[in-house]
């Protein structure tokens, strides 16, 4: 370390030499240029001059010594302060300052010591908080990793190590997409871009349920993945955190359930079709003419059988969708035409209920790329629900329109509406919401679930809004086909 420089004494020396010079010149003038002055006076002046010079020399020496002493003292104390400040700055916060401090530093050293203690306490507190957060993250029951803005892994917890099969020492500091890949289970298309939405747009992203994690060791694990940005106190994004969970077991259970439903529905389809055929034969009088009472029972049997057939068909549809066996037949189609067809087929049902069913179609709608049969099923489901859950004499308005998102089919009814606390369950499998009409209406709770799956398989979105007791609007949008 550079020591502080001592004060310069050149000025003092110059003053001494100048006064010596002036003395010598004065003596020459007195002795040689003024001969008329008596020699006693000259000697007296000379001796007086000598005394004066001696006195000056003595005073200067005293001044010089004292100044030097003070300078050395100040330099030592300042050096102590500088060394202490540097030691604090370099993070050495454990050594107490006052012990070896020169006494004259007084308040300065006390202030510096207070600074050191408060810095040490704050750093200790921050370190404890960090250790605690790390311990929680490290031991949490799901795989967790965090990345910085460069996409490098900065935290990698125990479960993540176990799932990926790579130790954190090998993974920390590496680019996340070089060691871990989240891809679509079937198409193997990478979902890697989700991290940009987290880091650049600050969005929380949940990856689709068909996500698999491809690890460095090339093994594939089905995972549920959620990610969120990490923001500092000023709200600036400084990284991202990804939480992932092995859902192999859940998938297996789900597969068994879907297989069971699929097998059971297949097995039920044949006897139900046979019952339908037999009812029809009985109706035609194959076993003789039936009286009024017998006919009424047969009608009830027909309704119950139809319900069973619809349920089995719904179940089969769902299991095909979930097993990825449902092949969509994509074509460029007009949603206004498909909606008009469905509208016509349901007009009779609405007039039976004394309901007003109207259709309005905006002009110049673009075409969409979709499976026409499946899209008609979606439209039919939404209009049929509107008819089912609207009282007699109610109003159902169907509208086909377009926005920047694509072409919309909207079905607005003046029906029973849906309570707010049931919104979240509406599109779940087998979800039926209690309402004043639901007891009289049969349903499987599969219609909206299937509609949502089908809309999403066609890159669209399903939407609704509802006011309990006033009515609901259900709708879906499919992206407009780009004209090449
Ligand atoms: P389902 O009609 O067979 O019960 P869905 O999946 O089609 O099954 O509908 C699920 C539930 O959502 C229904 O039971 C009903 O309570 C509610 N729902 C659907 N559409 C409407 C609507 N337009 N108005 C009020 N409730 C509705």
pLDDT at 12: 66
* pLDDT tens, residue order, the chain (484 aa): 444 455 456 766 777 788 778 877 877 777 776 667 777 777 787 788 778 778 877 887 888 888 888 888 778 777 877 887 787 777 777 777 665 566 666 677 777 788 888 888 888 898 888 888 878 877 778 899 999 999 999 999 988 888 888 888 888 999 888 888 899 888 888 888 888 899 999 999 999 888 999 876 677 889 999 999 999 989 999 999 999 999 999 989 988 888 888 898 889 989 999 999 999 999 999 889 989 999 999 999 998 998 899 889 888 888 888 777 788 999 999 999 999 999 999 999 999 999 999 999 999 999 999 999 999 999 999 999 999 999 999 999 999 999 999 999 999 999 999 999 999 989 998 888 888 888 788 788 899 999 999 999 999 999 999 999 999 999 999 999 986 5
Cβ of 422 closer than 6 Å to ligand 1, yes or no, is no
Cβ of 240 closer than 6 Å to ligand 1, yes or no, is no
Residue nearest (by alpha carbon) to ligand 1 atom 13: 432
Cβ of 375 closer than 6 Å to ligand 1, yes or no, is no
Question: E strands, 119-236, where?
Answer: 143-148, 153-156, 181-184, 205-206, 211-214, 220-231
pLDDT at 185: 86
Please give the number of the atom of ligand 1 that sits closest to the Cα of 433.
Answer: 16
CB neighbours of 414 closer than 8 A, spacing ≥ 6? 390, 394, 395, 396, 470, 471
What is the fold, at CATH topology level, of the domain defined by 140-246? Beta-Lactamase (3.30.450)
pLDDT at 146: 92
Which residue out of 313, 318, 385, 420 has the highest number of ligand 1 atoms within 8 Å of its CB and is therefore the one to mutate?
385
CA atoms of 158 and 135, how far apart (whole Å) = 10
Report field, pTM of the whole predicted structure over 0.75: no
Cβ of 411 closer than 6 Å to ligand 1, yes or no, is no
Check residue 480 and report its DSSP letter: B
Measured in Å, residue 88 CA sits from the centre of ligand 1 at 69
Cβ of 415 closer than 6 Å to ligand 1, yes or no, is yes
Q: What is the CATH number of domain 251-323?
A: 1.10.287.130
Cβ of 385 closer than 6 Å to ligand 1, yes or no, is yes
Cβ of 228 closer than 6 Å to ligand 1, yes or no, is no
Domain boundaries, the chain: 1-139, 140-246, 251-323, 331-478
Q: Count Cβ atoms below 10 Å from residue 427 Cβ, excluding itself.
A: 15
Measured in Å, residue 381 CA sits from the centre of ligand 1 at 9
Tokens of 22: 């002036």
Residue nearest (by alpha carbon) to ligand 1 atom 19: 385
Cβ of 438 closer than 6 Å to ligand 1, yes or no, is yes
Cβ of 365 closer than 6 Å to ligand 1, yes or no, is no
CB neighbours of 73 closer than 8 A, spacing ≥ 6? 102, 104
Q: What is the CATH number of domain 331-478?
A: 3.30.565.10
Cβ of 320 closer than 6 Å to ligand 1, yes or no, is no
CA atoms of 456 and 375, how far apart (whole Å) = 11
pLDDT at 76: 76
């Amino acid at each position: 370390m550079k020591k502080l420089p001592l004060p310069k004494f050149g000025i003092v020396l110059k003053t001494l030499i100048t006064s010596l010079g002036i003395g010598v010149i004065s003596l020459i003038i007195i002795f040689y240029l003024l001969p008329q002055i008596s020699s006693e006076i000259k000697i007296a002046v000379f001796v007086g001059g000598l005394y004066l010079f001696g006195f000056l020399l003595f005073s200067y020496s005293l001044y010089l010594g004292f100044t030097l002493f003070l300078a050395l003292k100040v330099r030592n104390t300042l050096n102590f302060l500088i060394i202490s400040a540097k030691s604090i700055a370099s993070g050495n916060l454990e050594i107490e300052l006052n012990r070896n401090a020169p006494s004259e530093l007084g308040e300065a050293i006390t202030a510096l010591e207070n600074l050191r203690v408060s810095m040490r306490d704050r750093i200790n507190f921050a370190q404890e908080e960090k250790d605690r957060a790390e311990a929680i993250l490290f031991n949490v029951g799901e795989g967790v990793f965090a990345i910085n803005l460069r996409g490098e892994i900065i935290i990698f917890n125990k479960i993540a190590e176990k799932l990926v099969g790579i130790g954190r020492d090998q993974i920390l500091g590496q680019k996340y997409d070089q060691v871990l890949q989240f891809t679509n289970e079937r198409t193997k298309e990478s979902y890697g871009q989700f991290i940009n939405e987290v880091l650049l747009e600050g969005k929380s992203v949940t990856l689709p349920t068909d996500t698999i994690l491809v690890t460095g060791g090339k093994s594939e694990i089905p995972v549920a993945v959620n990610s969120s940005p990490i923001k500092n106190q000023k709200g600036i994004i400084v990284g991202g955190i990804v939480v992932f969970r092995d859902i192999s077991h859940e998938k297996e259970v789900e597969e068994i359930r879907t297989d069971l439903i699929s097998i059971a529905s297949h097995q039920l389809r044949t006897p139900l079709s046979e019952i339908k055929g037999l009812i029809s034969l009985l109706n035609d009088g194959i076993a003789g003419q039936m009286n009024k009472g017998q006919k009424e029972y047969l009608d009830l049997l027909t309704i119950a059988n139809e319900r069973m057939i619809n349920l089995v068909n719904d179940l089969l549809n769902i299991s095909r969708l979930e097993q990825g066996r449902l092949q969509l037949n994509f074509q460029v189609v007009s949603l206004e035409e498909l909606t008009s067809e469905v509208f016509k087929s349901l007009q009779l049902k609405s007039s039976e209920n004394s309901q007003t069913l109207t259709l309005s179609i905006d002009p110049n709608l673009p075409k969409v790329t979709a499976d026409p049969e499946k899209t008609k099923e979606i439209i039919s489901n939404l209009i049929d629900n509107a008819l089912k859950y609207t009282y007699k004499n109610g109003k159902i308005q169907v509208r086909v329109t377009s926005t920047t998102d694509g072409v919309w089919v909207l079905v607005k009814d003046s029906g029973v509406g849906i309570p707010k606390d049931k919104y979240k369950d509406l599109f779940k499998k087998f979800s039926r919401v209690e309402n004043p009409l639901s007891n009289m209406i049969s349903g499987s709770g599969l219609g909206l679930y299937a509609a949502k799956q089908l809309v999403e398989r066609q890159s669209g979105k399903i939407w609704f809004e509802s006011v309990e007791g006033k009515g609901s609007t259900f709708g879906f949008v499919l992206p407009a086909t780009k004209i090449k």
